[in-house]
Chains A and B, each alone.
Chain A
Amino acid sequence: MGSPMKIRASLSGETADVKVLMRHDMETGQRKDASGAVIPAWYIQEVTVALNGKAVVTAEWGAAVSKDPYLALKVKGAKSGDAVSVTWVDNKGDTRTDETKIA
């Protein structure tokens, strides 16, 4: 299920500036907790950014992407009111989609 993302999408001309913050621990599987037990790997592996439901960028991530991931990219042919959605899937199969309208 995951925590909500924060998606900002602003227009300059016909290009939308999309900035996304996701809440995820991005555990590499190598850290240990206070009792010495290994904290299992848990990180986002796939991210899809779509404009009005159509995928524009599909990303694959490794565990090296930082905790609470940030992603900024630009989408062409966008206009005010268009829907920008972001979906992530992590290595445990957990997934989350959030959407915002371009201001």
Chain B
Amino acid sequence: MRHLLALLAGCVLASAAMAARAQDKSGDEVAKYREMLADGNPADLVELRGEELWKAKRGPKNASLEQCDLGLGPGVVDGAYAQLPKYFPDSKKVMDLEARLVYCMTTLQGFTEAEVTKAWFTKPGKEADMEALVTFVGARSNGKPINVANRHPQEAAMAKMGEYIFYRRAGPQDFSCAICHANDNKRIRLQELGNLTTKEGAGTAMKSFPAYRVSQGNVWSMQRRLIDCMRQARWPEPKYLSDAVIALEVYLQGKANGTVMQTPGIKR
């Protein structure tokens, strides 16, 4: 009996070791796949379109976005994404890049909010302007460290709310963000799940957005990423630009604080 147990234990260990080796090999091959993709990121083309849109005179007021204040003063784009979301005294709200762009498109260009948020992500045959603008502004923070201080009371409150949502279990599956994203070494199928409660895990995710997703063939903003996470967790989908989404962003950017931006990323 003891021999049998020893033998069994040996088998289990050996197969575990083999499985681990197979996993390492898969990991290498996935790394090679990602490396080959990184050499040409189609998001670079989206970025160019975003820059044109930023400079183009549009809307009822025939104005460009070049005077838009993204938090570093009117017209300053370099480094702007890395310090968002933040509190804006003019709107008295904590805003992320997309909320801020909508604010500028309504105040500077004279669009209605409904007009600019109606088609905020790309559908077949219709590229979203918002995606291009986000890609352009995001890329201009490339190389800059994420810097969200959460000094303003409203920013601190949003970070708190984001943390609450992150750990909150809800929906028909009683799911939370934390179930998949608060531990090391978790995977879904072949993909590793980042531990977003650590600087490394949150940094890896946050530094690469906005990111081109090859499975979708377009760029995803952090709004889209988080809204889709909630859909996949079988939660009711939050509204675009809602406080719930921005609060999660504030919380996650805070976790990632100090990580150097590398955007646009390219992902599965």
Contact = CB atoms under 8 A, between A and B. Distances in A.
Interface of A: 3-6, 19, 21, 23, 25, 27, 31, 33-34, 39, 66-68, 70, 72
A24 to B, nearest CB: 10
A21 B44 contact: yes
B124 A6 contact: no
A39 B40 contact: no
Given A4-B45, A68-B217, A25 B40 contact: no
A6 B125 contact: no
B16 to A, nearest CB: 37
Given A19-B39, A67-B217, A34 B123 contact: yes
B45 A21 contact: yes
B123 A4 contact: no
Contacts of A72: 39-40
5 contacts: A4-B48, A6-B44, A21-B41, A23-B42, A33-B124
A9 B34 CA distance: 22
Contacts of B160: none
A25 to B, nearest CB: 7
Nearest to B126: A33
Contacts of A19: 39-40
